[in-house]
Chain A
Amino acid sequence: MKIHTFTALLLSSAFSATVGADTIKIASVSPLSGSQAGLGDMIKLGAQLAIEEAAPWFKENGFNLAFSPQDDQASPDVGVATARRIVNDREILGVIGHLNSGVAIPASEVYREYQLAMVSPANTNPQITERRYPNVNRICGRDDVQGPVGAEFAVNELGAKRIFVVHDKTTYGQGVAEAFRTRALALGAEVVGYDGTEELSNFSSLILRMRVMKPDVVYFGGIYDRGGVLLKQMRERGITATYIGPDAMDSSEFVKIAQDAVIGAYYTTVAGPADQFPAARSFAERFKARFQKDAESYALYAYDCGNVFVAALKNWIEQNPGKTPSRTDVAQAVRAVTIDGITGAIAFDDKGDRVRSDYYIVKFETASYPGTTVKAITQTIEPAP
């Protein structure tokens, strides 16, 4: 009986692989529940909008383009389990995600086994592309540029001399904090504290140390959930040092947590605010009309990721009429794609990094989201010969 069910399952999956071949699914993987759902939800919705908008073209050409949102709960083990589930669905030909580098790195090992293309809107850890996997790409910048961009801003423009660096001990947070610290030291600033913490609520020991070390800038490498609380408690206890964080502060949740303390805080980001892109206004309107929510943080980048897949699939289908692409085909087509996305021109180098990435420095002038962009820096990574 068991064996029968099993063969039946096998048969049915083989069957759907041939007959149902006209369905192409693009999955998004990001935290949809738990502490970082605020950022993860935006990735899902941005990707969904791109897929839905492109579906009519695929319909005309005999394909059913579907969207499959998945939850990785911002946890490496759940992320890997989700990746395994994704690769088992033969119709999924592309993955948009993840949010956390610490989740994306192990999960992308799974995608690599199956040559499943991944395009990330948000993973900034250098390790993502330094492994040179042919199927792993990102359209955002890297922490080994983002950290230094923050450090240069702090030292050269804010005149920081004493910097206190805190990180959340994750792959992402510690990585960007280390890159920040190295550049800050090279620029001649003094790093008066460098600490990791997994604390969520009581930051009093750190804040007491800040009282003694008297930093003029506090850099927090981590996500808004800790960063917001730390900032609020710093201000309540009279620490006036300027707060700088990386791109994971880019959420209205950050403002909700820190409340008035957010005024005057800066963050560096790899995902430019919508006001930086001329085409983003109409995107924001379509997004609002579709989901009744304001597009935030990574929504725009996830939308561009979706369009990378759409363009890659269109190219392949036009060149191979009447055929259905395999995962390897899609991975190759994605790496070769060149599109004019809302966030600018998108093309990948041989590692899977975006050839041209932008970095922004944003300041909260009032206790409201989004903040004001104070500086935009374009960094061009020359494609290797």
Chain B
Amino acid sequence: MDGALLDILPSIILEGLLVGCVYAMIALGYTMVYGVLGLINFAHSEVFMIGAVTGVEVFRYLSPHIDNPFALLVVAILTAGFVSGATAVTIERLAYRPLRRRGYTNRLVPLITAIGISFFLQDLVRLIEGLWHGEFYMNYPSHAELEHTLVLPMDMTLQVKGLITMVVTLLMLGGLWFLVQRTRLGKAIRAVAQDATTASLMGVNPDSVIARTFFIGGFLGGVAGVLFGVLYTQVNPFCGFIPGIKAFTAAVLGGIGSIPGAMIGGVILGQLETLGGFYLPFFTDGAIGTEYKDVFGFVILVLLLLCRPQGIFGKAQKDKV
């Protein structure tokens, strides 16, 4: 049996990488908004959920018209990205910007607003889907091409949809890095992140930069939603909560505000969870079951953060004077 436990290790790591990629994509949204505004946008988990639900609707209505599942997936990803991005911008415009205008410097106020929006959006989607299709659970239809299993060396298997998830994550990370480091918009985002007031004196419009940051973060969240739904086959109006919390944790672990940090944090959390979920029951003879995988993951996180409170890539923040 011990041999079997080791033989399957590569498969576990691959599985952890996959779920880590999903966390990382969501974490990017948290980290970008935090970087620019210093705000933890808890409504981001619902932006992710809206992406997942939009994806289901695209699959539902376009399946009869588009035969190729890959084309369908691309359409779903783009549509969900835009819908989620638009949702994020709307949230920013209606909820956060008015608070900013009134000069709330206390960060608790927008934080509580974010939690409120989060609840509002969950029940709004539940209401809409309930009236529209009478459904609570929404299922992604099976497509043999997407579910085709690739056999890799060392007994690993990976479904095509898993491969797509990994590739898309890398593309998005690369694209985001390019956008932030190499474009005018990126320069503006970095400027606002450093100091919004000074940036506005230099001719940068902070409101427009913030709105675009929300759009980019929301877009990534929407894409993650579709990939999450395709991977795990079922979504519902409350499905954003757990991945959202985990992605937030991943962002903190990687150092919130840092883009590579979000990626690394997501992957580490995914690995801890999957490894813990697999090995704990074996090493404790079933006394600690797979159900403790989250506990395991979070205990390690607490220990890591005790040693490095700013996260892996975060810069230690001293009080600004």
Contact = CB atoms under 8 A, between A and B. Distances in A.
Contacts of B130: 33
Contact of A257 (B11, B137, B149, B278): B137
Contacts of B243: 201
A103 B273 CA distance: 31
Kindly state the interface size class of chain B when it binds its partner. Answer: 35 or more
A47 to B, nearest CB: 20
A201 B291 CA distance: 13
Interface in A175-203: 193-198, 200-202
B12 interface: yes
Nearest to B12: A208
Nearest to B155: A211
B38 to A, nearest CB: 31
B277 A35 contact: no
Interface in B88-134: 126, 130
B69 interface: no
Interface in A243-266: 253, 256-257, 259-260
Nearest to B11: A208
B290 A195 contact: yes
B232 A196 contact: no
Contacts of A169: 291
Interface residues of A, number: 35
B281 A201 contact: no
B157 A204 contact: no
A290 B130 CA distance: 21
A365 to B, nearest CB: 18
A228 B274 contact: no
B179 interface: no
Contact of A204 (B274, B281, B291): B274
Contact of A195 (B5, B233, B235, B281): B281
Contacts of B291: 169, 195-198
Contacts of A132: none
Interface of A: 33-35, 37-38, 169, 193-198, 200-202, 204-206, 208-209, 211-212, 225, 228-229, 232-233, 236-238, 253, 256-257, 259-260
Interface of B: 1, 4-5, 8, 11-12, 15, 18-19, 126, 130, 136-137, 139, 141-142, 147, 149, 157, 159, 228, 232-236, 239, 242-243, 273-274, 276-278, 281-282, 286, 289-291, 293
Given A33-B126, A211-B8, 4 more contacts: A195-B289, A201-B235, A204-B274, A233-B232
